[in-house]
Amino acid sequence: MVTTEHKTPPIHIIEWWDSFSIEDEWYDLDTKHPHRHIFSTGYVVGEDEHYLHLATTFDPFSATYSVAIAIYKPCIVARTPIATAGFH
């Protein structure tokens, strides 16, 4: 059986400000729930002008990933590469 290994995406540490939703109702400004300063580490599996897509796992033989998050780019404080694309 021959398997094809796909290029592994780069791994980055992303420092960002989290945003959240409080239920499905309208609320007055809620200052008792502060935004959180978050650090996430993962494979950069996608990116466009608005979002960075970060996944926790990547399968180089099927080029699939799981447990991904889309981080809104204006919320990103810092982005640190820790492994380049194609590493093994």
- Domain segments of the chain as ranges: 1-20+33-88
Q: DSSP letter at 5? A: P
* Cα angle 51-71-8, degrees, rounded to a multiple of 5: 80
pLDDT tens, per residue, the chain with 88 residues: 556 778 899 999 999 998 765 566 665 665 666 678 899 999 999 999 999 999 999 998 888 999 999 999 999 999 999 998 776 5
Q: Give the class (CATH, top level) of 1-20+33-88.
A: mainly beta
Specify the 3-state DSSP secondary structure of 75: helix
Token code pair at residue 86: 């194609």
Is residue 66 within 8 Å of 55, Cβ to Cβ?
A: yes
CA 11-60-49 angle, to 5 degrees, is: 45
Q: Which pTM does this prediction carry?
A: 0.78
